[in-house]
């Protein structure tokens, strides 16, 4: 919430700009020179929006008005002439409203006066229902739904038009150029993303550009996933994929950004250029989180993870930079969690949440995927816990209701969800058969957690009817989970039920989620650790996506040492294979170019995929051991675990501060500049602290309240 | 449905272009130089649409591709390179799909090959749900909803871009110029609509333009409803209302069209122009219907009505050309009916139906008005009856369902509708008090008819479940109507019930609709004729809008002679007051400028309002007596009534033909070039016919089957 003394910002209908911006971003995907938009409904902004503000001025005040769209100004419902750039607001109390129409881009306004400024306290509606009857009397608008305006703090000047927003760019040079198969192969040294640029482009003829995340891909002109074609003709060049022709400047920069490390160029003899460089395109982020330890391999994993996140954090969080360049809910959910331990970029979490949800009516699951609908809900409550931003919950709550209505309208007689025709039951990319039919335990576990999330958010927006309703539905489903899926003989949740009958297959998914959601008894948790999580006969997970949760489940069961080994083997394995960013899928038993293939295509796999970066999250939450206990870290918990390391140090960002931690085998140092909470640790002998009183819990467990901003040092054994 | 031998047309998602075009049109309204958009939700097009067609080619074929938007081409799901203007379709059987993204204007395509052409047989979807799994296998899209493409026959060339559609224009000169109050008053001779043009505009200074449908309005610079302001500065001119600056050509034409007869101009001394003319803007229509009789006043009424319709028939049917320039459902419903007896312009009926309905979710009644929701339903079945176009019903049926869901979700415990906060219960502009609270009999009658319409349309689209459901709901409501509202003592339906109790007031509305919907017994019909319709103590109707139905009700009761007198008094009255088009409201007891005022504003009234043109409909349907009995006039009925005239002749258009009729006091001549049906008439003595066999019905009633294209002459007495 801005107040009148702060800078004005551009404002819009909440979510509308984010959805529109998400469209721009999603639609930059190409495949071999073809535009490749997504296959679910693409929503857009309300084209007509009214902005309003109650004015109370002692003296008249001139305001500057900047608008994206055709607009009018009304004072207490009375229309004012034209579309002025400046307007004199009279003294007095009245309602100022500005109604804007824009088909192409979201209706937005920027108002700047001495005291009257556009900010999130303005009200917006897409339907004011304010009509005037025959006698001149205005209608009762008490049922009109007004929302608080949306707006970003960055759009704080009249000339920063939201519709012209662009990510930042910086020039990057190639690190090596070689000649192969009659063409030029350019290596940019590591996975990167941006716009190629040609200097001294001239002559007449065709240039073929083949992009590769690997050298093999760039050189494979027939199967590389992305390519471009330029037709140079004297002073003009045509980008054939985009059907755009322009004049050649000193440097010609392509209009669409691409993901690559290598670029392979072939060309007609009549055409030439001097140098190929690129404009690296990125979201400027401050890396507020950090991690360092005695094991250099772990440090490298963290750094490659952070770079993977940097590349995939754009207008929204996307899955991968070569493919799909789309916002996927399950992928985004992990990006949110990693982000809380890296950049704490709340804006991008909100953008992604809006863009994923789109508008009503709901006509399919999020991204068409049943499980992705549930991850969308889960991400919202997490956001509240990490940021404490209750206002966002109230803005997005109406769309949580309608999405949950969609889910509830498709449950079966048992009140459970099943995939219906047109639904994608994803779960994970698996190397062996996985049944997607009937009631999947995994989907029910996520469904239950989503219902609990609805109840929590209903409470936050003070909707008690909804709270009672959703809490009741959650409880009813929770009560069915164990009877339906727990197999006592096999000491695990089975994968699915068909016609009410438990099926043979056991997979890791439901078991690990049920574990860290605390849907199992402590005994069951210990049972599944042996029967599923550490049992090699249960189908292995080969995506970093589900490894994320698998290792999280093990961490919650205190298996940090085991997880550290796994992390080094799996993520370290990718790095040993030459990864400069983490992959969509990694099977350690694959060899050579097998690592590049997926979806039946030799280079189908994305070599920079956000879900590959989970060590960022695991190291922050389960080794540094820092997480919020109350919303926005007003209360936190710190339970550091070396997990086999000799020492570690790191920083975890909080909304307006940070928590720093250093730990070795006999010292823990903590500095928390915001909030308070317990540091919990184990010590064989009685520990001591530089400040505060250490309390002994059971056995070797101790805790110390951290509630001041200075460093606290604990000696333990 | 086009087939492959016909011309290709531009195609789009059904309704999307019409909704977008409606926005363009609605948003041209201004009030005293201020942009004046409507106050209900403005929907727009799906921004991402897939067009597809099953191809079966013996030989390869090159197609020309024109697209409004960014697009891709797929053959059986395989993406093709770039966005080509020409593409070689290979021989064979496969699915061709083109996916288009366009935020600003609707995604549209135009495909022209030897046999492959874009037409309404192409399929479109906003959500194909076609994803590819890890192994490269495509998803099951059997649940994807594909619609037939929308498209107009006029957009039949690659360069006729739908987004650039404009109405036709023609230059018109002023008929008189005079000087008054220091300014220039220009008279264009009659109500008109278009763009003012200044010749030889030069100098430096301001020009004020005041428009008037009356001389009084144009001269009243402070209160005229529409005005413009130009700032001339050498070779540049700025339109202040639109904030557009441009270079002055030989002739400067304003960018927005206005309604006026008079224009009053004042200006600074430093600025000058030579002549003021205008570009008349109009929808080119063939006037296929006609009416002429011995009474010149009636002929003039018909002609002024036809001109009123010409002015208000634009991209869609609007209410009035000065105000509101919007599509209103109740107004449009009457325009449809008049149109069937005038231009038979089915395209504009469809455009208006789509534009009024917009998209889901439904968040308010149509135009926010309870009764206007019902008129929207009624218009659709009428359209089917007059045109026989069942395909349109199937295209729009899904939106009929969701609008009716909205209505049914807001019924009270009696299953009746009541206005809720934010709903506008309109009924009519009335001069005296009219209660809008509780259950209005008028609204229930329209609701019952809407449910019957749903059942009929469900049957047309072969949705038997819906048919049974809506028929049941209609019957249940019908059964409640008479018990709830009929007052035996007063022999009329009362206006409303509050808390289940009949209120005192009796109004004409429900009584007249119940009469021509046949919701009353023949006895009740005769009773309300006396107790309500011809009873001067019941509040008089002072809008042509409700007079339309009042006179229709009287006509269905055989009161053509009485109606003829009323028509001459009421519409003739407007003409005697100087009307060159019919008005929004007319109270014969008003004097002078009282005729111009409305909504508490001296020139608030619209002097060219579509609902003023009802004699077009009444004369065609109840004097010529021609109407369809089966869809599209495959069967018609002709029951001509002179109603006091000595002779009349006229033409009523049918989808692909016409019915001509001449009648005097002893001869009837009929030529029907399409369909067949009975001519029914009364004769004191035995009549004879030039062809066919006349059957005697009861009393003096006779009928003759008309089933050939040649003229049939009947002599009667």
Residue-wise pLDDT for B184-205, tens only, equals 999 999 999 999 999 999 999 9
Of B81, B131, B240, the CB nearest to A33: B81
A647 and A608 housed in the same domain: no
**Residue range(s) defining the domain that contains residue B264:** 168-282
Question: Which of the residues A41, A75, A80, A405 would you substitute to probe the B interface, choosing the one with the greatest number of B C-beta atoms within 10 Å?
Answer: A41
B35 and B139 housed in the same domain: yes
**B223 near A CB under 8 A:** no
A299 and A438 housed in the same domain: no
CA distance B94 to chain A (A): 19
Question: Which of the residues B74, B103, B244, B421 would you substitute to probe the A interface, choosing the one with the greatest number of A C-beta atoms within 10 Å?
Answer: B103
| Cα A385 from Cα A392, distance rounded (Å) | 12
Q: How many CB pairs under 8 A join A and B?
A: 193
Report in angstroms the alpha-carbon separations of B526 from A632, B433, B519, B530, B538. Answer: 75, 27, 13, 7, 16
Domain presence at residue B466:
no
| Cα B1 from Cα A220, distance rounded (Å) | 46
Contact at CB, A422 and B143, closer than 8 angstroms: yes
Report in angstroms the alpha-carbon separations of A193 from A164, A281, A321. Answer: 20, 6, 7
User: Does residue B693 carry a pLDDT above 60?
Assistant: yes
Per-residue tokens: A392:
């966002």
pLDDT digits (tens, 9 = 90+) for B541-593: 989 999 999 999 999 999 999 999 999 999 999 999 999 999 999 999 999 99
pLDDT digits (tens, 9 = 90+) for A455-494: 999 999 999 999 999 999 999 999 999 999 999 999 999 9
Number of independent structural domains in chain B: 3
Q: If you average pLDDT over every residue of chain B, what do you get? A: 96
| Cα A30 from Cα A241, distance rounded (Å) | 9
| Cα A90 from Cα B160, distance rounded (Å) | 49
Q: CA A321, A323, A325 angle in degrees (round to 5)?
A: 55
**A249 φ, ψ to 5°?**
-90, -170
**A601 φ, ψ to 5°?**
-120, 140
A268 and A301 housed in the same domain: no
What residues of chain B lie within 8 A of the CB of A140, using their CB? 421-422
Question: Which of the residues A103, A223, A403, A603 would you substitute to probe the B interface, choosing the one with the greatest number of B C-beta atoms within 10 Å?
Answer: A103
**B157 near A CB under 8 A:** no
Structure letter (DSSP) for residue A450: H
A20 and A155 housed in the same domain: yes
The pLDDT, as a whole number, for residue B115 is 96
Q: How confident is the model at residue A3 (pLDDT cuts 50, 70, 90)?
A: very low
User: Does residue B674 carry a pLDDT above 60?
Assistant: yes
The pLDDT, as a whole number, for residue A101 is 98
| Cα A14 from Cα A8, distance rounded (Å) | 16
CA distance A626 to chain B (A): 36
Q: How confident is the model at residue B6 (pLDDT cuts 50, 70, 90)?
A: confident
Report in angstroms the alpha-carbon separations of A367 from A335, A447, A623. Answer: 16, 16, 33
CA distance A696 to chain B (A): 52
Of B37, B73, B127, the CB nearest to A41: B127
For residue A342, the SS3 value is: coil
Across B259-268, average pLDDT = 98
| Closest-CA residue to B399 (of B9, B13, B12, B2) | B13
DSSP string, B578-612: T-SS--S---TT--GGGGG-BTTBTT-S-SSBGGG
pLDDT digits (tens, 9 = 90+) for A72-101: 999 999 999 999 999 999 999 999 999 999
A87 and A212 housed in the same domain: no
Q: CA B71, B74, B78 angle in degrees (round to 5)?
A: 130
Within B367-415, where are the H helices? 370-387, 390-408
Across A626-643, average pLDDT = 98
Q: How confident is the model at residue B262 (pLDDT cuts 50, 70, 90)?
A: very high
Across B327-353, average pLDDT = 98
Percentage of residues in chain B having pLDDT higher than 90? 95
Beta bridge partners, A53, equal A96
Domain presence at residue B457:
no
Across A266-285, average pLDDT = 96
Per-residue tokens: A660:
């720093």
Contact at CB, B243 and A84, closer than 8 angstroms: yes
Domain presence at residue A2:
no
Across B646-651, average pLDDT = 98
Per the CB < 8 A criterion, the answer to whether B243 and B249 are in contact is no
The pLDDT, as a whole number, for residue A5 is 55
What residues of chain B lie within 8 A of the CB of A98, using their CB? none
Across A533-558, average pLDDT = 94
Contact at CB, B131 and A368, closer than 8 angstroms: yes
The pLDDT, as a whole number, for residue A138 is 83
| Closest-CA residue to B682 (of B641, B710, B647, B621) | B641
Domain presence at residue A610:
yes
Of A36, A104, A131, the CB nearest to B72: A36
Name the residue in chain A with its Cα closest to that of B601.
A136
Per the CB < 8 A criterion, the answer to whether B235 and B248 are in contact is yes
User: Does residue A2 carry a pLDDT above 60?
Assistant: no
Percentage of residues in chain A having pLDDT higher than 70? 99
Domain presence at residue B438:
no
| Cα A598 from Cα A590, distance rounded (Å) | 12
* Enclosing H/E stretch for B259: strand B258-267
User: Does residue A180 carry a pLDDT above 90?
Assistant: no
Across A243-253, average pLDDT = 95
Domain presence at residue B110:
yes
What residues of chain A lie within 8 A of the CB of B140, using their CB? 421-422
B153 and B255 housed in the same domain: no
Domain presence at residue A474:
yes
Domain presence at residue A196:
yes
Q: How does strand A676-682 pair with strand A635-638?
A: parallel
Across B200-219, average pLDDT = 97
Q: How confident is the model at residue A4 (pLDDT cuts 50, 70, 90)?
A: very low
For residue B99, the SS3 value is: strand
User: Does residue B2 carry a pLDDT above 80?
Assistant: no
Per-residue tokens: B299:
């002929």
The percent helix, strand, coil of chain B (3-state, each to 5) is: 30, 30, 40
**B422 near A CB under 8 A:** yes
DSSP string, A105-124: S--EEEEE-SS-B--TTSEE
User: Does residue A324 carry a pLDDT above 70?
Assistant: yes
Percentage of residues in chain B having pLDDT higher than 70? 99
A118 and A29 housed in the same domain: yes
CB neighbours (10 Å) of residue B188? 23
| Cα A489 from Cα B473, distance rounded (Å) | 54
CB-based burial label for A344 (10 Å; 0-12, 13-18, 19+): buried
pLDDT digits (tens, 9 = 90+) for B472-499: 999 999 999 999 999 999 999 999 999 9
B20 and B149 housed in the same domain: yes
CA distance B104 to chain A (A): 4
Q: Which of residues 77-96 of A touch B (CB under 8 A)?
A: 79-85
| Cα B137 from Cα A6, distance rounded (Å) | 54
User: Does residue A38 carry a pLDDT above 80?
Assistant: yes
Q: How confident is the model at residue B136 (pLDDT cuts 50, 70, 90)?
A: confident
Q: How confident is the model at residue A277 (pLDDT cuts 50, 70, 90)?
A: very high
- From A622, A647, A679, the end of a domain falls on A622
**A27 near B CB under 8 A:** yes
User: Does residue A306 carry a pLDDT above 80?
Assistant: yes
Contact at CB, B424 and A600, closer than 8 angstroms: no
Contact at CB, A34 and B144, closer than 8 angstroms: no
B25 and B143 housed in the same domain: yes
Q: How confident is the model at residue A431 (pLDDT cuts 50, 70, 90)?
A: confident
| Cα A583 from Cα A571, distance rounded (Å) | 9
The pLDDT, as a whole number, for residue A133 is 81
- Order across the sheet with A676-682: list the strands: A626-628, A635-638, A676-682, A701-706, A694-696
User: Does residue A351 carry a pLDDT above 80?
Assistant: yes
Q: How confident is the model at residue B460 (pLDDT cuts 50, 70, 90)?
A: very high
User: Does residue B164 carry a pLDDT above 70?
Assistant: yes
Beta bridge partners, B531, equal none
B154 and B269 housed in the same domain: no
Across B103-111, average pLDDT = 98
Residues 6+ apart with CB under 8 A from B713: B667, B668, B669, B689, B690
The pLDDT, as a whole number, for residue B138 is 83
Contact at CB, A129 and B422, closer than 8 angstroms: yes
Between B102 and A137, the higher pLDDT residue:
B102
Domain with A685 in it: what CATH number?
A: 2.60.420.10
Contact at CB, A48 and B41, closer than 8 angstroms: yes
Percentage of residues in chain A having pLDDT higher than 90? 95
The pLDDT, as a whole number, for residue B1 is 38
The pLDDT, as a whole number, for residue B5 is 55
Domain with A87 in it: what CATH number?
A: 2.60.120.260
The pLDDT, as a whole number, for residue A529 is 93
CA distance B244 to chain A (A): 10
The pLDDT, as a whole number, for residue B259 is 98
The pLDDT, as a whole number, for residue B3 is 42
Contact at CB, A81 and B600, closer than 8 angstroms: no
| Cα B82 from Cα B691, distance rounded (Å) | 66
The position carrying tokens 């679910």 is: A40
Per-residue tokens: B702:
């006779």
A421 and A468 housed in the same domain: yes
pLDDT digits (tens, 9 = 90+) for A21-33: 999 999 999 999 9
Q: Which of residues 105-124 of B touch A (CB under 8 A)?
A: 105
Report in angstroms the alpha-carbon separations of B208 from A198, B32, B240, B430. Answer: 55, 11, 10, 36
The pLDDT, as a whole number, for residue A59 is 98
Q: CA A177, A183, A188 angle in degrees (round to 5)?
A: 30
Per-residue tokens: A473:
């539905």
- From B122, B146, B164, the end of a domain falls on B164
- From B282, B303, B338, the end of a domain falls on B282
For B3, what's the count of Cα atoms within 13 Å in the CB-facing half-sphere? Answer: 1
The pLDDT, as a whole number, for residue B699 is 86
């Amino acid at each position: 919430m801005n107040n009148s003394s702060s800078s004005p910002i551009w404002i819009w209908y909440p979510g509308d700009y984010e959805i529109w911006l998400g469209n721009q971003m999603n639609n930059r995907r190409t495949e071999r020179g073809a535009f490749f938009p997504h296959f679910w409904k693409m929503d857009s902004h309300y084209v007509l929006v009214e902005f309003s503000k109650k004015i109370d001025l002692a003296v008249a005040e001139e305001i500057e008005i900047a608008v994206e769209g055709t607009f009018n100004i009304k004072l207490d419902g009375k229309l004012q002439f034209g579309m002025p750039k400046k307007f004199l607001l009279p003294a007095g109390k009245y309602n100022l409203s500005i109604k804007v129409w824009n088909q192409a881009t979201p209706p937005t306004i920027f108002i700047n006066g001495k005291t009257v400024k556009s900010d999130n306290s303005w009200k917006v509606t897409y339907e004011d229902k304010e009509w005037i009857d025959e006698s001149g009397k205005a209608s009762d608008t008490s049922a009109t739904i007004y929302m608080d305006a949306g707006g970003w703090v960055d759009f704080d000047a009249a000339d920063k038009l939201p519709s012209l927003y662009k990510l930042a760019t910086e020039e990057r040079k190639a690190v090596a150029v070689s000649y192969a198969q009659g063409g030029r192969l350019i290596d940019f040294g590591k996975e990167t993303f941006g716009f190629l640029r040609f200097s001294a482009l001239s002559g007449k003829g065709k240039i073929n550009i083949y992009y590769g995340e690997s050298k093999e891909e760039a050189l494979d002109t027939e199967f590389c996933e992305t390519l471009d074609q330029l037709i140079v003709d004297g002073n003009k060049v045509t980008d054939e994929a985009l059907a755009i022709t322009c004049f050649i400047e000193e440097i010609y920069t392509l209009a669409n950004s691409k993901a690559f490390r290598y670029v392979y160029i072939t060309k007609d003899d009549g055409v030439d250029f001097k140098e190929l460089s690129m404009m690296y395109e990125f979201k400027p982020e401050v890396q507020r989180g950090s991690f360092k330890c005695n094991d250099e391999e772990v440090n490298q994993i963290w750094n490659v993870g952070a770079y993977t996140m940097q590349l995939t954090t754009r207008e929204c969080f996307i899955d991968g930079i070569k493919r799909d360049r789309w916002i996927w809910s399950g992928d985004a959910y992990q990006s949110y969690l990693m982000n809380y331990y890296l950049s704490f970029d709340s804006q991008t979490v909100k953008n992604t949440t809006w863009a994923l949800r789109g508008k009503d009516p709901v006509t399919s699951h999020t991204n068409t995927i049943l499980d992705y609908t549930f991850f969308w809900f889960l991400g919202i409550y997490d956001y509240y816990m990490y940021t404490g931003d209750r206002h966002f919950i109230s803005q997005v709550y109406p769309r949580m209701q309608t999405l949950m209505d969609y889910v509830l309208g498709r449950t079966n007689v048992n009140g459970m969800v099943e995939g219906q025709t047109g639904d994608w039951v994803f779960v994970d990319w698996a190397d062996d058969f996985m049944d997607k039919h009937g009631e999947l335990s995994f989907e029910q576990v996520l469904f239950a957690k989503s219902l609990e999330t609805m109840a929590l958010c209903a409470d936050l927006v003070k909707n008690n009817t909804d709270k009672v309703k959703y809490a009741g539905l959650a409880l009813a489903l929770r009560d069915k989970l164990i009877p339906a899926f727990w197999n006592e003989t096999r000491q695990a949740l089975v994968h699915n039920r068909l016609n009410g009958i438990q099926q043979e297959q056991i997979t890791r998914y439901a078991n690990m989620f049920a574990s860290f959601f605390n849907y199992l008894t402590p005994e069951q948790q210990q049972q599944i650790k042996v029967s599923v999580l550490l049992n090699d006969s249960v189908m292995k997970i080969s995506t970093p996506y589900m490894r994320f949760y698998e290792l999280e489940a093990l961490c919650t069961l205190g298996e940090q040492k085991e997880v550290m080994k796994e992390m080094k083997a799996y993520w370290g394995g990718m790095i040993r294979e030459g990864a400069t960013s983490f992959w969509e899928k990694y099977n350690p038993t694959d060899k050579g170019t097998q690592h590049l293939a997926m979806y039946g295509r030799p280079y189908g796999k994305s070599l920079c995929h956000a879900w590959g970066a989970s060590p960022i999250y695991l190291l922050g939450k389960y080794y540094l051991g820092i997480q919020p206990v109350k919303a926005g870290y007003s209360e936190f918990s710190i339970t550091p675990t070396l997990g086999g390391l000799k020492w570690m140090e790191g920083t975890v960002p909080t909304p307006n501060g940070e928590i720093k931690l250093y730990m070795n085998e006999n010292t823990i140092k903590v500095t928390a500049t915001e909030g308070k909470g317990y540091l919990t640790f184990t010590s064989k002998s009685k520990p001591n602290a530089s400040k505060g009183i250490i309390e002994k819990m059971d056995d070797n467990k101790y805790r110390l309240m951290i509630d001041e901003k200075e460093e606290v040092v604990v000696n333990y054994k």
